[in-house]
Amino acid sequence: MSRRRQSVTIRHVAADAGVSLQTVSRVINKEPGVRPEMLHRVQASIAKLGYVPSLAAQRMSGSRSYLILALNDRERTIADWRAREGRDWVDQMLLGGMLACAAHGYRMIVELVDTQSDQIEREISAAIAALQPDGAILTPPHSQNPVILKLLAEKGIEIARIGSVAEGPGHMLVQDDRGSARLATEHLLALGHRRIGFIAGPAEYELSAWRVEGWRAAMAAAGLSSDGLLETGDFSYDAGLIAARTLLDRAEVTAVIAANDQTALATMAAVRGRGLSVPEDVSLVSFDDTPIVRFASPALTAVSQPIADITAKAVERIIDACAGRAAASAEPVVLPSTLIVRDSTRRPPAR
């Protein structure tokens, strides 16, 4: 029976590179002040020996835990997973966050919490006590929750807040929701549409208001009124169906911009329920661009949001702050979205 191969440790790397344990530790932890010659020698030894730093060893080397905690909404996330309808918001968040963490020797752990729960402080305190994270990424609506923000700040945890510019601590990162809604509206205007309805998301999400503002701004710039063309849902299919039916009953729209993909699919159903079709009678634009709209019939024109990119940027901001390379700015980091034009938009029908 062959003898088990001995694990490569930081001591083997130090001996091979001819440097101190402290130097190897500083290279592994990406600390500043290591001379380029020493940096290259240590990196060469790491590659040669196949050394992989253990999280436990990193945590023992200093005050950091090398863990980043991502908080996401429990009820909505679990409902999306159980529905198995192709919504990939969490998948994209994990993609961006985990890859960025891995590149810096960190790990990301996702916790699902309920914003409406009166036990939220106890719930988050328990997670912090167990994990001792260096930072926390907050997604809407947690990113604007004053209770969560205060709790994390009091414990000295670096905070990255996605989708919120409300007053509070931490690094703010947003997708350009105003610009995206304006871009979608301008696309429809360029096709000749003048009665463009909008179905917004719930008010508890700051981005809902930003998207409405972008739509209204584009309509106003074109000299058009948006009065009577707005309805509100809650990002669910059922609420989207009610909002779409109300909008179609009240206003003679030739195009609709929906707050998310579920709302867009509900709008398509509402259009068809009236014996009409997309895009022949009503053009349709969605937000999110999850798999369900790419394979819909017709495939939906959609705002594709940089979820993976914004989560990766949130991770990098936290890591830079922990290393003393960056401080939270009063201005948010804004990442642009892209409009993907497919088959659900065309010129309005002749009337």
CA dist 43 to 26, 33, 104, 242, 267, Å? 11, 15, 14, 59, 55
Architecture of domain 67-175+307-336: 3-Layer(aba) Sandwich (3.40)
> End-to-end CA distance of the chain, in Å?
84
Q: What is the pLDDT of residues 312-349, one digit of tens each?
A: 999 999 999 988 887 777 789 999 999 999 999 999 98
SS3 for 216?
A: helix
The reported pLDDT for the residue numbered 2 is 37
Span(s) in the chain for CATH 3.40.50.2300: 67-175+307-336, 177-305
**DSSP strands (E only) in 74-224:** 107-113, 135-138, 158-162, 171-175, 196-200
Cβ neighbours of 139 (radius 10 Å) = 25
Whether the CB-CB separation of 164 and 140 falls below 8 Å is answered with yes
Residue reference for tokens 């329920």 = 273
Which CATH topology does 177-305 take? Rossmann fold (3.40.50)
CA contacts within 13 A on the Cβ side of 273: 13
Assigned CATH for 10-54:
1.10.260.40
For residue 212, give both structure tokens.
Answer: 């409405």
User: How far from chain centre, in Å, is Cα 119?
Assistant: 25
Q: How far is CA 28 from the centre of its chain?
A: 28
How far apart CA 340 and CA 266 sit, in angstroms, is: 20
Domain with CATH 1.10.260.40 in the chain: 10-54
Residues 6+ apart with CB under 8 A from 52: 8
| 250 vs 230: CA distance, rounded Å | 10
Determine the number of helices (DSSP H) and then strands (DSSP E) in the chain: 14, 12
Angle at 334 between CA 332 and CA 144, to 5 degrees: 50
- Write the CB contacts of 151 (distance below 8 Å, at least 6 apart in sequence): 121, 124, 125, 128
Q: What are phi and psi of 313, to 5 degrees?
A: -65, -35
Predicted confidence at residue 8, as pLDDT, reads 80
Please tell me the distance from the alpha carbon of residue 329 to that of residue 333, in angstroms, as a whole number: 9
pLDDT score of 6: 52
| Mean pLDDT over each residue of the chain, to the nearest integer | 89
CB-based burial of residue 172 (10 Å sphere; 0-12 exposed, 13-18 middle, 19+ buried)?
buried
Q: Which residue has the tokens 């938009």?
A: 345
Closest C-alpha to 260, from 206, 208, 196: 208
Across the chain, which has 351 residues, the per-10-residue mean pLDDT values are 55 89 78 83 87 60 79 85 80 93 89 81 87 92 89 93 91 94 98 97 92 98 97 94 96 95 96 96 94 91 94 94 80 92 94 67
Report which DSSP code applies to 151: H
CA distance 274 to 246: 12
Under 8 Å between Cβ of 174 and 140: no
